Amino acid sequence: MKLVGVSGTLAGNKTSQAVYDVLAAAKFIDSSIEIELIDLKDYEVEFATGAPIALYNDDTWNVVDKILSADFLVFGTPIYQASISGVLKNLLDHFPENAFKYKVTGIVATGWSDKHFLVTEYQLKPVLSYLKGLIPTGNVFIQNDSFDIESDDIIDRGVSERIQKLADEMIFLQQSINNRMK
């Protein structure tokens, strides 16, 4: 199985670190899982205009293709102005309605205020559901003070445990889907 993580921000490292930690936790649980991190700040994904994907630049096509070829996914977003990042929403606008059918789509979010922990429930979860993704119950919100100031490593043990549980739930759900599809 291949797990692809998407860091949906163009600034900072906290979100990509959180997504990577989910990927690493999954790899630790099952070493046969292939992992890949797509950090959107490393790509020039074009603004979605509704055109066929073949008409967009190579970066857009490559990112969409990597995501579509994954068995399951974890999406990370910082919370900006009480919303998911625009770059992540733009990326998701490139996908057809059934893009994530039979795929587990986990969520991690980072933000300054604990008041924003429900943003993904009300904004990202509906989009992933529309794309037919199966969303785990153990999605993770991480306040910025849970990261080391210098390294951006997660230093909050509770957050690390929630990331581990998310990875475990994602693997269990995806394996269950795969076994049912046989």
pLDDT for the residue numbered 113: 81
pLDDT for the residue numbered 118: 84
Closest CA to 64 of 93, 102, 103: 93
CA distance 49 to 2: 29
Per-residue pLDDT of the chain (182 residues; tens, 9 = 90+): 999 999 999 999 999 999 999 999 999 999 999 999 999 999 999 999 999 999 999 999 999 999 999 999 999 999 988 899 999 999 999 999 999 999 999 999 999 888 788 899 899 999 999 999 999 999 999 999 999 999 999 999 999 999 999 999 999 999 999 999 87
DSSP letter at 124 equals: I
Cβ partners under 8 Å of residue 54, min gap 6: 61
Q: In order of start, what are the domains of the chain with their CATH numbers? A: 2-181 (3.40.50.360)
Count of beta carbons in the 10 Å neighbourhood of residue 133: 25
